[in-house]
Structure 1
Amino acid sequence: MGLAAGAGDEVLLELRAREAFSKRDYQTAGQLAKVCAEQAAAGGDQGTWWHMTFLEAECYRDMGQQQDCIAVTKRLRVHSLTAESSELMCRVLTLQSVSLQGLGELDAALADAEAAVHIGTDNRLRTEIRIEAQTALVATLAERGDNDEAWDQCRVLIKLLEASTDAQAAGKGYWAVGNVAFLRQESGHGVHYHQLAAERLSPSNDLALWAWFNRASAAMRLAAGIADAETEDCMDRAELAASIIGVTDDIRRSNNMNRAHWHFQRGEIDEAAQLLVPICEESPSMAHQTAGEANLLLSKTLRVKGDCSAALRHLKESRAYFDQSGAKDRAAQVAAEIARFPQAS
């Protein structure tokens, strides 16, 4: 990155940044994008500054550094170029919504997603931009437990997906639709839309996204009580991909939670508990929604083992984390379980 400033150098830096991003070397891509943006700003090239700063934010998102991503999107949001362009504003709001969702800040994520979708009602915007915004809205509503409203928005999303020529964007969209169907306990529709997503997402195009999809699809299938060979295949694919691209703490926890859920559904309670206990010990450093799910599953596991005192404690922790995430329906469901719990008093 020891290049002198200049138009030619900015082009080279931008190409190198985008190449690194395409190879999923997000740290290098982010560093290059930041240097390129700084040089562009010094030269008065606001367009290059904007696109390289946005790329830097995307790198933070894909590295799981959501706070850093939001810090950058906030700068982009108030920039004059963003204010002048519906498309740029829609992209910024969508990216910010996704990062806020990753942090479990669901009320703020919903506000940004709704704003992005409102902007996206302008039919002059590219279909892929509108799909990304609509997908973010569906995902946030589902995470909050607003499943009926999420399904209403899925109907809008499906129409956009049917008109899309971008396989990856369509794959993400069908993935979100399938998630909502699973959450509505419509497992047949959930499997159908996840199959449509699987047909469009390719490991050769984006291995990290493919791994994420398989990991998430396994989680949804397990939550629906589907512990079949296809579910195990999803877990195997996610773990194989993780061994290639590297394992972050979030990925490790997600893969282990799936395995724990798998063991639980097969009646292998000790194996499930061995995986869940260390995960729940990390609850303060996890997204609130994830911590809620982990503590809920551990509570069920401990209750089967006969440790009702610990089970109730983790059930209460689960409710607290769901409350913090804004997932009001999930929090209410757990509260109802607490009220019925033998030692609740």
Structure 2
Amino acid sequence: MVIATGAGDGVLLELRARDAFAKRDYVEARKIARERAERATGDGDQGTWWHMTFLEAECFRELGRYYDCISTAETLKAHALTVASPELLCRVLTIRSVAAQGAGELADALEFATSAVALSESAELRSEIRVAALTALVAALAENDRMDEAWQQCQCLIKLLHTLNDAQMAGKGYWAVGNVAFLRQDPSEGVRYHQLAAEHLSPSNDLSLWAWFNRASAAMRFAAGIADTEAEDCMDRAELAASIIGLTDDVRRMNQLNRAHWHFHRGEVDEAAQLLVPICVESPSMAHQTAGEANLLLSKTLRVKGDCDAALRHLKDSRAYFDQSGAKDRAEQVAAEIAGFPQAS
């Protein structure tokens, strides 16, 4: 069979786009996917256009360009191929939910994830599609502080994960379940499911994802007051991976914040403060949630050191950053600490 030169070029572009995505070069992957989608439009190849446009949406998601992801997902949602296929529609609804959550539009995130799960069940879609939809729903419910419902959906997710052949996807699912357990103040279950996630996630398959999981798992454990050798191992693995992949400012701050938590739990408040002060100086340029956590921990550290005036200032900064991030529960918890702070005004 002879492949026309134009067709061969198109296949090559598609392979290059997917290869760039696999290598986490999302800027290049998006650029190539857009070029391939435009060629497909000219050729009347709607299937290739759809898949390359969806890949573009995935790139926007990974780049944190959530509103671009939302816009692209809306374009896909209205396409005739999506309307005709429950599987394609479910994939679009799921990525739409994830992007809405990233953009802080939590009600939309819950609405689209709920629709995705309902569709995946009614159409009896493949396990991989159902797991992705359920994972999005679990995260959306947790973000909306509907923990009991999130845990109920986790039980459905766990049943599916037992039958899944994709180890990476299963690892992400167990990771999500563990997060909900930690947020429900059930650290033993949180540790259990994060251990299952660690068994499925492999640094050889995706070193960046492995690093992200270990960094996040350490943070969850420290927030639950767990500063054991497993938490230290998670922190060490995240730092090792970062030394191989390279450090962004966000990753550097999160690793330092975890290390500061470790020192604080060990009673090494001077070491914790040395890490936290420079992080908090950068608060205006950080993710609001991270800035809130850093200022809260620095406040606790300074209070132990006896500097209550500075501790109160950072406590107020922490509340402001949690408010800005939309983390209402965290903001209310910090507000209660401020109200009970010695000589609070």
**How many angstroms does 1:230 deviate by?**
1.6
| Map of 1:247 onto structure 2 | 247
Letter in 2 for 1:100: A
Instruction: Flag the 1:145–1:260 CA change in 2: closer, same or farther, 3 A.
Output: farther
- 2:27 paired with 1:6: no
Q: Which stretch has the larger CA shift, 150-159 or 82-91? A: 82-91
| Residues 95 and 295 of structure 1: CA distance in aligned 2, closer, same or farther (over 3 Å) | farther
- Cα distance change of structure 1 residues 161 and 318 upon mapping to structure 2, 3 Å threshold: same
Match of 1:229 in 2: 229
Return 5+ residue gaps in structure 2 as ranges: none
TM-score, normalised with respect to structure 2: 0.90
Consecutive unaligned residues of structure 1, counting only runs of 5 or more, are none
What is the distance in 2 between the residues matched to 1:107 and 1:343? 39
Question: Which residue in the other structure is 1:315 paired with?
Answer: 315
**Are residues 65 and 275 of structure 1, via their aligned partners in 2, closer, same or farther at CA, if it must alter by over 3 Å?**
farther
Instruction: Give per-residue Cα distances to partners, 1:216-246, cap 9 Å, x unaligned.
Output: 1111111111112221111111112122222
Superposed, which structure 2 residues align to 1:79-228 within 5 Å?
79-228=79-228
1:162-184 deviation line (CA, Å, top 9, x unaligned) = 22222111111111111111222
Report the CA distance shift for 1:101/1:321 in structure 2 as closer, same or farther (over 3 A): farther
Contact 2:86 2:123 in 1 (8 A): no
Could you say if the C-alpha distance between residues 262 and 52 of structure 1 is closer, same or farther in structure 2, counting changes exceeding 3 Å?
A: same
Show CA shifts across 1:46-81 (max 9, x none).
Answer: 211111111122223323443443343333233333
Q: Percent identity at matched positions?
A: 73
Alpha-carbon separation, structure 1, partners of 2:313 and 2:189: 35
Q: Return the offset for 1:124.
A: 2.2
Q: Quick one: distance in 2 between partners of 1:277 and 1:95?
A: 37
For structure 1, which segment, 109-118 or 208-217, has the greater mean C-alpha deviation from structure 2 after superposition?
109-118
Task: Report the structure number with the largest CA radius of gyration.
Answer: 2
Amino acid across the alignment from 2:270? D
Alpha carbons 2:222, 2:231 under 8 Å: kept: yes
CA shift for structure 1 position 86: 2.4
Q: Which residue does the alignment assign to 2:53?
A: 53
| Structure 2 residue 332 is matched with structure 1 residue 332 | yes
SS in 2 for 1:6: helix
RMSD over equivalenced CA pairs, Å: 2.3
Residue identity matched to 2:9: D
Task: Find out whether 1:278 has 2:306 as its counterpart.
Answer: no
Structure 1 range deviating more: 212-221 or 13-22: 13-22
- 1:261 positional shift: 1.0
Q: Tell me which moved more, 321-330 or 186-195.
A: 321-330
Q: Which residue is 2:24 aligned to?
A: 24
The alpha-carbon distance between structure 1 residues 76 and 344, as it changes in their structure 2 partners (threshold 3 A), is: farther
- 8 A Cα contact 1:103 1:287, kept in partner: no
Matched residues in 2 for 1:287 and 1:140: separation?
Answer: 19
Partner residue in 2 for 1:72: 72
Equivalent-residue separation in structure 2 for 1:246 and 1:178 (angstroms): 27
Query: Residues 208 and 92 from structure 1, CA distance in 2 versus in 1: closer, same or farther, beyond 3 angstroms?
Result: same
User: In 2, Cα distance between the equivalents of 1:103 and 1:276?
Assistant: 27
Count of aligned pairs between the two proteins: 342
Deviation at 1:123, TM superposition (A): 4.2
Q: Provide the TM-score with structure 1 as the length reference.
A: 0.90
Which letter maps to 1:179? N
> Quick check: 1:145–1:330 contact (8 Å CA) kept in 2?
no
CA distance in structure 1 between the partners assigned to 2:158 and 2:322 by the alignment: 29
Q: Does the 8 A contact of 1:5 with 1:39 survive in 2? A: no
Deviation of the 1:120 alpha carbon = 2.4
CA spacing shift, 1:54–1:232, aligned 2, 3 Å? same
Structure 1 pair 341–144 and aligned structure 2 pair: CA distance change class (3 A)? farther
User: Would the alpha carbon gap of residues 178 and 338 (structure 1) be closer, same or farther in structure 2, given more than 3 Å must change?
Assistant: same
Partner Cα distance (1:144, 1:278) in 2: 32
Higher relative contact order (CA 8 A, sep 6+): 1
Say which is worse superposed, 167-176 or 40-49, in terms of deviation: 40-49
Cα distance in structure 1, aligned partners of 2:252 and 2:5 = 41
C-alpha displacement of 1:313: 2.8
Alpha carbons of 1:102 and 1:274: their partners in 2 closer, same or farther (altered >3 Å)?
farther
Structure 1 pair 270–73 and aligned structure 2 pair: CA distance change class (3 A): farther
Kindly provide the CA deviation profile for residues 282-304 of structure 1, in whole angstroms up to 9, marking residues without a partner as x: 43444333333222222222222
Letter in 2 for 1:81: L
The match for 1:63 is: 63
The separation in 1 between residues aligned to 2:235 and 2:102, in whole angstroms, is: 21
Greater CA deviation, 72-81 or 296-305? 72-81
For each residue in 1:307-335, what CA deviation from the matched residue of structure 2 results, as whole angstroms up to 9, or x when unmatched?
A: 32332233233333333434332232222
After TM superposition, give the deviation of residue 249 of structure 1 in Å.
2.5
User: Structure 1 residues 114 and 291 mapped into 2: Cα distance closer, same or farther (>3 Å)?
Assistant: farther
| One-letter identity of the residue aligned with 2:81 | L
Shift in Å at residue 209 of structure 1? Answer: 0.9
